[in-house]
Every structure is written in C-alpha cells, then in structure tokens.
Amino acid sequence: MREGYRVVMAEIPRPTTVRRLVSFSEAVYEGRTEVEGISALLCDQRHLLADIGTVTVVVDPDGACIEAVAPDVVVDARLTKRTPVPLPHGSTPLIGIGPGFLVGRDADLVIETHRTAGPGRVIRSGGALPYTGIPGKIGGETLRRVLRAPCAGFLTPCCQLGDLIAENQIMARIDGQTLHSAIAGRVRGLIHSEVELCVGMKVGDVDPRGEAVDPHRISDKALAIGGGVLAALQMLNVDPVKRGAD
C-alpha cells in the first residue's frame, strides 16, 4: 500500500489467521482493522472500491471477484502448502506464495516463505521449498511455541493477544479441554473464537522472546515476503498507481 498499489484482498468467511493483530483478515470479523497505520475495510462484492490508501477486503473464497476487479496481477497467498486449486485469473499474471506452486504450471513467479531457504526470494524456475511441518526457530523454540487444537470445537480464550504468560499457563479451552502453553513468552497469535476447529489445527503462537516482542509489529519474515512480492511486481512490469490518479 505504501508503494502506491491498490489492493483488493479476498478472504474466506471465517479466516483462520492466528496472528490477527498484523493481518487484514481481521476486517472480516470487525468490519475494519488497521496494521501499522494501513487501514482495511470490509466491502460487499457488489460495491468493490479499490482505494489507494485502504485495503479492500471482500469475502470471496473462490476469487469470483477477480474478473470484475480486473487486476494487473493476482497474488495467491492462500498458503495451502500443496498444489493449489486454480483461481479464475485467466491470462492475468499470478504470483504464488510458498510451497505447492511451480513456475509455469501454477504461477508466473513464486515467492519463498521458508526461513532457512530465504523468505522473500523470487523464484523464476521451479518452486518453493516443500512444507516441512516444523515452524521456524524463534528464540530457540520451534514446535513448542505453536499451539494446536487437541480436539474439534470452538476456542474459548483464557488470555488476550499480547499478554505475557508463564510456562504451562492455560491459554484457552476447546470443547472442555484445556490448552496450556509449553513455554513462557508473549501471546503473539490466537485464532478467532468463531472458527470451527479440527484436531491438530494451529490455534495459537507464543513468542519466547517475551517483552522484547511487539505483537502489533509485522515480523521480519512477513516483511521479507512482502518485499519479495514487490520485487516480483517489478519483474512483471506492474507499476504502482500514481498518487492522486483516478
């Protein structure tokens, strides 16, 4: 947005985002949200308005609005980590984010997301590193910093995003079962209580760096991936909209 691109973001009816303080998907639940000074507004598909200063969020899991919006490029950031179900983008260039995409088959360019492989790297041939199932190491922690649903149901939080918690503290309950944090740290992510959960689904994220972390700030990894998308747009000769242009 700060580079001058107009952005329309299509989401599912109940986004499964965990780091909700730094995601525009929260607009689906709240009607609007803000991430580091950039606003996002939930809109009806019938009244789409791609504004240069605000992210337009629409509930459209199948990308049906792509034809009406007629974008210069489509960025597929569904992060399914497997071969994607194609979006109806026609001849519009597509940038694929993360594992599952192959250049020339699913996307024109692919952006790497894995920490060890260099997040944000633009891939012109082949695809991103396959999904390993192991979270990137932060503060010396990998698997223990991520919380997963022990059963199906809906999450009832026992803490708030941004809270500092102790090791073994109860973070939430799901269908009567308690969910404890394996480590001490700051609650950086917690899935919305309206999401229907299945066993093993990621529902929370604790950052072991604790007070040193601001959960309202975009992570270095996310910034690198965003930078990769900008580089890919330049490679595809997709220019930002001039300020003040209609």
Backbone torsion region of residue 207, taken as left when φ is above 0, otherwise alpha when ψ lies between -120 and 50, otherwise beta: beta
Q: Is residue 12 located within the same domain as residue 40?
A: yes
Q: Is 186 within 8 Å of 226 (Cβ atoms)?
A: no
Q: Is 189 within 8 Å of 160 (Cβ atoms)?
A: no
**Both structure tokens of 209:** 């760096």
Nearest to 179 by CA among 159, 207, 208, 164: 159
Domain ranges, residue 112: 72-133+217-239
Q: Is residue 45 located within the same domain as residue 90?
A: no
* pLDDT on residue 179: 96
Q: Is residue 59 located within the same domain as residue 163?
A: no
Nearest to 39 by CA among 25, 29, 24: 24
Q: For the segment 107-118, what is each residue's pLDDT rounded down to a tens digit? A: 999 999 998 889
Q: Is residue 227 located within the same domain as residue 173?
A: no
Q: Is residue 18 located within the same domain as residue 50?
A: yes
Domain-embedded: residue 138: no
Q: Is residue 78 located within the same domain as residue 188?
A: no
Domain-embedded: residue 246: no
Q: Is residue 86 located within the same domain as residue 55?
A: no
Q: Is residue 119 located within the same domain as residue 152?
A: no
Count up the domains in the chain and report the number: 3
Give the neighbor-by-neighbor strand order of the sheet with 74-76.
Answer: 74-76, 94-97, 109-111, 122-123
Q: Is residue 183 located within the same domain as residue 151?
A: yes
Tell me how far the alpha carbon of residue 241 is from its chain's centroid.
24
CA distances from 233 to 5, 64, 111, 222, 223 (A): 10, 22, 11, 17, 15
Q: From first to last of its 246 residues, what are the pLDDT tens digits of the chain?
A: 677 899 999 999 999 999 999 999 999 999 999 999 999 999 987 666 666 679 999 999 999 999 989 999 999 999 999 999 999 999 999 999 999 999 999 999 999 999 888 999 999 999 999 988 888 889 999 999 999 999 999 999 999 999 999 999 999 999 999 999 999 999 999 999 999 999 999 999 999 999 999 999 999 999 999 999 999 999 999 998 754 444
Report the CATH number at residue 188. 2.40.50.100
Domain-embedded: residue 78: yes
Q: Is residue 147 located within the same domain as residue 128?
A: no
Q: For the segment 145-178, what is each residue's pLDDT rounded down to a tens digit? A: 999 999 999 999 999 999 999 999 999 999 999 9
* pLDDT on residue 122: 98
**Both structure tokens of 2:** 């700060």
CA 228, 234, 238, 240 torsion: positive or negative?
A: positive
Distance CA 235, CA 237 (A): 5
> What is the reported pTM?
0.91
Domain-embedded: residue 57: yes
Q: Is residue 188 located within the same domain as residue 155?
A: yes
- DSSP assignment of 100-117 equals T-BBTTTBSEEE---TTT
